[in-house]
Amino acid sequence: MRADRLVATLLLMQARGQVTAADLAKELEVSRATARRDLEALSAAGVPVYSQPGRGGGWSLIGGARTDLSGLTSAEAQALFLIAGPAASVAPQIKSALRKLVRALPQTFRADAEAAAEATIIDTAAWGEDTKDRPGLVAVLQEAVVRQIRVRLTYQKRGEAPKGRVVDPWGLVDKDGTWYFIAGTSDGQRTFRLDRILGATLTGAKASRPADFELAGTWDEIVTAMERRRSATTATVLVPTRFLDIFKRQHGRHCTVVEHLDDHVKVELTAPTPLDIARNVAGWGGLITVESPEVQEHLAAIGEELVSRYRRASPAGPAEP
């Protein structure tokens, strides 16, 4: 994981004073090109690393070998922890590395660095959606969370006109490429999809956040509630073994393997309604077998609708002699 390597790279530079791309490649078991890109990424993020060309050269932190990270400014520390922090939600070893880095920071920077590390988490389990590019608003909202500044949002729910509201930023979640913004509002805690946020500006006013708020735990509660709503219907499906990985990626945590057969795997799909399941699997055509009668009825109806709309009249054959 790249964030893990970036943290390890910085720790190695602290310990050794100067490293080369070859040193890092050997230590972290990556290619020299990858090690060089990681070093350049740290520099681009604002961490004060620089390269010294020529014989005996390498990469160093400004100030040379140190036992602490006093060479970092507050903004630079935030930049580093924004890079590494999200990965800590899926990799325990990164949490340990970040704790060491926090202890190495000057006391005045620790609160900002910890806020940056906790501003975003990663949830790798998809909700059956295609992965999207990182939204441009992520940086603005991360800044709002770290600095605890209220945000004015323009948000558009599906089928409704855009509305503006001022919210308190609490955290961001990257759910397999779909981003969510958790915030406090006059109506209580709310979760906003970033692809429905049309605009976001910092107001300058200080935001508030519950003292006991913890982003990972809050997100678990949101996911649990959402899964209950999305899993009212269960259907059994036979999937060819060779397509199982693709099928599981498409349906995320709503696909559970039940039994391995000869050349097929029996899985259970969950969704709010039988029609939702039928719509989700219709594109697989005859490659899969749906065993649930209610879903079969909807698939048949979808098939008849498609045949009615898209089947063309058979071309006329040759005339009889």
Q: In whole numbers, what is the pLDDT of the chain averaged over residues?
A: 78
What is the reported pTM?
0.49
Please say if the pLDDT value at position 286 is more than 90. yes
Place 106 in a pLDDT band, splitting at 50, 70 and 90: low
What is residue 307's DSSP assignment? H
Residue 276 CA to residue 271 CA, distance in Å, equals 6
Digit-coded pLDDT (tens) for 161-186: 999 999 999 988 888 778 899 999 99
Which pLDDT tens digit goes with each residue over 218-263? 888 888 887 777 667 899 999 999 999 999 988 887 899 999 998 9
Flag whether pLDDT at 95 surpasses 70. Answer: no
Establish how many alpha carbons lie within 13 A of residue 269's alpha carbon, considering only the half-sphere containing its beta carbon.
Answer: 31
Q: What pLDDT score does 83 carry?
A: 55
Question: CA 212, CA 69: separation in Å to the nearest integer?
Answer: 29
pLDDT at 65 over 60: no
Residue 110: the pLDDT is: 56
Q: Are 88 and 107 a contacting pair, CB within 8 Å? A: no
- Determine the residue type at 223: V
What the chain holds in terms of domains, given with CATH numbers, is 2-118 (1.10.10.10), 138-226 (2.30.30), 231-309 (3.30.70)
